[in-house]
Amino acid sequence: MSKRKAVSIVLTRNPESPEVYLVERNPALKFFGGYFAFPGGTLDEEDHSAQIANAAVAQPDSLPFMAAAARELFEETGVLLARGDNMIEAGKRRHYRQQLLAGEIDFHEMLGRESLAIDARDFHFMGAVLTPEFAPVRYDTQFYWVQVPDGQMPEIVHGELVSGNYCHADAALVRWKRGEMIIVPPVIFMLREFAGHSVAAGTPAILKHTEDYSRGAIHQIYFTPGVQMVPLATGTLLPATHTNAYLVGESQLYLIDPAPSDPNEQQRFWNYLDKRLAEGCEFKAILLTHHHADHVGALQACVERYGLPILAHRNTAEKLGIMPTRYLEHGDELDLGESPDGQPDWQLKVYHTPGHASGHLAFQETRYGSVIAGDMISTLSTIVINPPDGHLAAYMESLRLLESVTTGTIYPSHGPAVRTGREVLRYFIKHRQEREQKLLATLTAEPQSTYELVRRVYNDVDPAIWSLAELSLQAGLIKLREEGKCAERGGGFVKRS
């Protein structure tokens, strides 16, 4: 898992106001496309050797972050945060920015040529956040609050970003709760601290938050309102190292998949749950997507600690040897109370989605259409279909069911959430169909063993995962056999036509 250094800039035009500049990322971007965020980006090589005035007021290791902040701010918004006797006038700034975006000049050289310097006094540290473990690439991001220089107006050039605006924190949160805008997760908790008071007054609370994070506190990760993702370390299948538990609801919460078996990781989880209780939240029940060990490691401990009922599918309960308070079935609805924007009758719908596991359930909240998909999809790797409890034909049918109902973000058990849930499901359906076609095309009248077949059908993937792929291959052979398209003969598999 790679880590990259990045910087985010909280730009204000009036430090006494809770107003910050938010940029809208191009929906076509793979990383947080369509989301609103603060301006910023990753550190470049050149940022490490940049000259910074009054460097003594800052931590030495924060200087490259400041250099990157000034550069990214100029690239993304045209705001030039530097000091000197003669600030370059607007027309020349625009010209420099075009050259910079075209890769014709170097930002720090440009400053030198114009006798301008980045000044450490212009940057107010708000904390550092390391992307939680759900993501394949993790960013070590430092946040700086900066005041826009007099007479400058941020301006977006259409490309990676498509718009930008100063927004009042509370107004942005209202729009977010209405589902009118989506905002990258760390910005949400910062906006919450700005709401009602100035950015300057909100800064100490944000610093405390980020310090707690660095000491292991659970991050507040919301890709959409009302669904909190809680990545917890489990002994799951690589490349995943974590399972996402979920808290769904606003003040009455359902807890989905208490996953970790490690006592230290459980303790991290309890600390967070205790905090939510202390804030006045109520836990209604534990819901299980399915019985696999990397989803239920803390189940018993969680029941004992919080005295919560368990709601699960009958097959899941049987596999775990537990007697749940209630069996969940396809079509059930659980009451979530009021939605984050105050709408009544917010429900959590239950879908029976067998295939990965025969008792697998997915859940959809009705306000934003988000789907908690469990192990129906993973945004890190392929889902393993392990017969006999795993069944490929049933899995395909369940994928199609979810594809037909998903209107919002999809939340997997492993990996980040994706805003375009339905597209993701379509991609996985297509991917499985193509693999099935390849298997069908590889089968001949001559018997081939699964050992031989896996090498031919999965010749485009890393041989290290062939042993896992063999499980999927077997699931594929069962499906074709059920459909009368293949048969077992002479210790191998042959095509039937």
In whole angstroms, what is the distance from residue 447 CA to residue 494 CA? 5
Q: Which of 292, 352, 432, 435 binds Zn ion (CB under 5 A)?
A: 292
Say whether 234 sits in a helix, a strand or coil.
coil
Nearer to Zn ion, 228 or 413 (CB): 413
State in angstroms the smallest separation of the CB of 418 from Zn ion. Answer: 19
Which listed range, 31-39, 87-95, 228-236, 288-296, lies at the site for Zn ion (CB under 5 A)?
288-296
Nearest alpha carbon to residue 224 among 364, 413, 351:
364
Which DSSP string do the residues of 365-424 spell out, in sequence order? ETTT--EEEETT--SSSPPP--TTTS-HHHHHHHHHHHHHH--S-EEESSS--BS-HHHH
Task: Report whether 207 contacts 129 (CB < 8 A).
Answer: no
Which listed range, 59-67, 247-255, 257-265, 284-292, lies at the site for Zn ion (CB under 5 A)?
284-292
Which listed range, 67-75, 126-134, 372-380, 402-410, lies at the site for Zn ion (CB under 5 A)?
372-380
Which listed range, 71-79, 236-244, 285-293, 426-434, lies at the site for Zn ion (CB under 5 A)?
285-293
The token pair that represents 4 in the structure block: 């990259």
Nearer to Zn ion, 6 or 362 (CB): 362
State in angstroms the smallest separation of the CB of 375 from Zn ion. Answer: 4
Say whether 146 sits in a helix, a strand or coil.
strand
Number of Cβ atoms within 10 Å of the Cβ of 94: 14
State in angstroms the smallest separation of the CB of 372 from Zn ion. Answer: 14
State in angstroms the smallest separation of the CB of 409 from Zn ion. Answer: 21
Nearer to Zn ion, 256 or 453 (CB): 256
- Residue 308 C-alpha from the chain's centroid: 27
Say whether 307 sits in a helix, a strand or coil.
coil
Residues 190-209 that bind Zn ion (CB under 5 A): none
Which DSSP string do the residues of 268-292 spell out, in sequence order? HHHHHHHHHHHTT-EEEEEE-S---
In whole angstroms, what is the distance from residue 300 CA to residue 324 CA? 12
State in angstroms the smallest separation of the CB of 373 from Zn ion. Answer: 11
Nearer to Zn ion, 71 or 292 (CB): 292
State in angstroms the smallest separation of the CB of 357 from Zn ion. Answer: 6
Nearer to Zn ion, 122 or 375 (CB): 375
- Report in angstroms the alpha-carbon separations of 314 from 361, 396, 457: 11, 21, 35
Say whether 20 sits in a helix, a strand or coil.
strand
Nearer to Zn ion, 171 or 238 (CB): 238
Nearer to Zn ion, 341 or 375 (CB): 375
Nearest alpha carbon to residue 387 among 274, 482, 322:
482
What string marks each residue from 324 to 363 as x (binds Zn ion by CB under 5 A) or -? ----------------------------------------
State in angstroms the smallest separation of the CB of 383 from Zn ion. Answer: 8
- DSSP designation for 342: -
State in angstroms the smallest separation of the CB of 295 from Zn ion. Answer: 6
Nearer to Zn ion, 292 or 419 (CB): 292
State in angstroms the smallest separation of the CB of 413 from Zn ion. Answer: 7
How many residues touch Zn ion (CB under 5 A)? 2
Q: Measured at the alpha carbon of residue 10, what is the angle toward residues 211 and 17, in degrees to the nearest 5?
A: 105
Nearer to Zn ion, 284 or 292 (CB): 292
The single-letter code of the amino acid at 420 is T
Which listed range, 45-53, 291-299, 391-399, 427-435, lies at the site for Zn ion (CB under 5 A)?
291-299
In whole angstroms, what is the distance from residue 217 CA to residue 268 CA? 7
The H or E element spanning position 143 is strand 137-147
Nearer to Zn ion, 203 or 472 (CB): 472
State in angstroms the smallest separation of the CB of 120 from Zn ion. Answer: 49
- Closest residue to Zn ion, based on beta-carbon distance: 292
In whole angstroms, what is the distance from residue 284 CA to residue 252 CA? 6
The token pair that represents 347 in the structure block: 């429900």
Does 389 sit near Zn ion (CB under 5 A)? no
Task: Report whether 10 contacts 206 (CB < 8 A).
Answer: no
Nearer to Zn ion, 290 or 479 (CB): 290
Q: Which of 122, 365, 375, 389 binds Zn ion (CB under 5 A)?
A: 375
Which listed range, 70-78, 264-272, 287-295, 340-348, lies at the site for Zn ion (CB under 5 A)?
287-295
State in angstroms the smallest separation of the CB of 360 from Zn ion. Answer: 8
In terms of residues, how long is the chain? 497
Residues 159-178 that bind Zn ion (CB under 5 A): none
- Beta bridge partners of residue 142, listed in sequence order: 7, 128
Task: Report whether 134 contacts 416 (CB < 8 A).
Answer: yes
The token pair that represents 276 in the structure block: 């939510």
State in angstroms the smallest separation of the CB of 358 from Zn ion. Answer: 12
Nearer to Zn ion, 80 or 401 (CB): 401
Instruction: Kindly give, in sequence order, each residue whose CB lies less than 8 Å from that of residue 333, ignoring residues fewer than 6 positions away.
Output: 347, 348, 349, 350
Which listed range, 45-53, 81-89, 375-383, 469-477, lies at the site for Zn ion (CB under 5 A)?
375-383
What are the residues binding Zn ion (CB under 5 A)?
292, 375
